Amino acid sequence: MIKIKNLSKLYQTKTQSVQAVDDVSLTIDKGEIFGVIGYSGAGKSTFVRLINRLEEPSDGSVVIHDKDITKMQHNELRNKRQKIGMIFQHFNLLWSRTVYDNIAFPLEIAGVPKAKRKEKVLELINLVGLSGKEENYPSQLSGGQKQRVGIARALANDPEVLLCDEATSALDPETTDDILDLLVSINKKLGLTIILITHEMHVIQQICHRVAVMENGKVVESGEVLDVFVKPQSKTTQRFVQQLNPLEHDKNNLAAFINDRDDTEVVKVHFIGNSAKRALISEVSKKFDVEINILQGSISPTQEGAYGTLFIEVNGDNAVIKQSLDFMQNEGVEVEVLKHV
Ligand SMILES: Nc1ncnc2c1ncn2[C@@H]1O[C@H](COP(=O)(O)OP(=O)(O)OP(=O)(O)O)[C@@H](O)[C@H]1O
């Protein structure tokens, strides 16, 4: 478990001071994939670099498996850092070394004997899907392959946690998906805790269990990914969620489909987890004397199950409409009547 308490970083330059991270407290469970999202300048990079003390905190503590790294002296910190892997947006590989030698590098520094090193490097090359590329140089690899080398290198000393600093931001969408899938499989296979920072909500949606949203150095919202997606509280979070389904938030688009009748209600329905798989709409229209017109809908998978949103128009007698909406609510589906769309 990682306990971050009142963590702050104040950059003091000659002309100004910037509170890059401002009193952040978070607990990250062992084995979870925890995402931190924020716009440019929110303090994400500084935050993640405080975790392994690439940046010195101005205040607060970072306790990783019961050891406070902010209190460690040089040697102890160096040893602990070997247990904190990190991958970067621009990979940070050694360009004059082969794939094999890049991955062997942290093992050399840790003093691992040659035979053991070889065994470990080959195991890691296999794990990240780079077999056959051992003797290639980074310049001969694609972006996705370079990041695979970065991941293998970060895992060399069997870390307790993997920090990912915008690890997919330099990659195209398809390669991004491959790297995210690799991170999920490593998380499952090794039970590795992963903390990743990103400015892209689909990265959070695809692989994270929990998320914290940062703004001006502070965490403005945090929680389970599904909860945060379905009920975003802060304006910043709402903007991030809108990135995923822009149409869903386009009121003009929705208004164009709506009938101008008195006996209709326009309703937003949220399906979460297993309820997203149910044929509830047809069930309701069979059970009650209402017509249901689907205006718009989307479904998004997350690590904790799918969530879907449907905008429907329900036509019928007012009392029956109410009964049908109550029925849906009782079946565990969230129902929101939209008076003004
Ligand atoms: N070394 C530094 N000296 C002074 N100010 C800094 C330094 N590094 C970062 N900052 C400032 O701290 C704030 C947070 O920067 P940070 O890079 O952590 O944000 P970010 O969310 O990672 O943004 P981006 O995605 O653009 O990198 C910014 O205002 C930035 O200008």
134-147 per-position pLDDT tens digit? 999 999 999 999 99
Look at residue 107 and tell me whether its pLDDT is greater than 60: yes
Q: What is the location of CATH 3.40.50.300 in the chain?
A: 2-244
Query: CATH top-level class for 2-244?
Result: alpha beta
- Interface confidence, given as ipTM, is 0.97
Q: How far is the CA of 178 from the centre of ligand 1 (A)?
A: 28
In this structure, the residues whose C-beta lies within 6 A of any atom of ligand 1 are: 11, 13, 18, 20, 38, 40-46, 199
CATH match of 247-338 with 1.10.150.20: no
Atom 28, ligand 1: residue with shortest CA distance? 41
Given a contact cutoff of 8 angstroms between Cβ atoms, the answer to whether 228 and 221 are in contact is: yes
Q: What is the location of CATH 3.30.70.260 in the chain?
A: 247-338
Edge-first strand order for the sheet with 334-338 is 291-302, 305-315, 264-272, 334-338
Q: How far is the CA of 43 from the centre of ligand 1 (A)?
A: 6
Q: How far is the CA of 18 from the centre of ligand 1 (A)?
A: 8
Q: How far is the CA of 29 from the centre of ligand 1 (A)?
A: 26
pLDDT tens-digit series, residues 166-179: 999 999 999 999 99
Per-position DSSP letters for 202-259, written without gaps between them: HHHHHH-SEEEEEETTEEEEEEEHHHHHHS--SHHHHHHHHHH-GGGG-HHHHHTT--
Identify which has the larger pLDDT, 222 or 305.
222
Atom 11, ligand 1: residue with shortest CA distance? 20
pLDDT tens-digit series, residues 30-76: 999 999 999 999 999 999 999 999 999 999 999 999 999 999 999 99
Q: What is the pLDDT of residue 278?
A: 73
Q: How far is the CA of 216 from the centre of ligand 1 (A)?
A: 10
Given a contact cutoff of 8 angstroms between Cβ atoms, the answer to whether 292 and 281 are in contact is: yes
Given a contact cutoff of 8 angstroms between Cβ atoms, the answer to whether 162 and 86 are in contact is: yes
Q: What is the pLDDT of residue 340?
A: 46
Per-residue pLDDT band at 341 (split at 50, 70, 90): very low
Q: Which two tokens stand for residue 327?
A: 């029925």
Ligand 1 atom index nearest CA of 38: 21
CA distance 175 to 145: 9
Per-residue pLDDT band at 245 (split at 50, 70, 90): confident
Atom 4, ligand 1: residue with shortest CA distance? 11
CA distance 205 to 35: 9
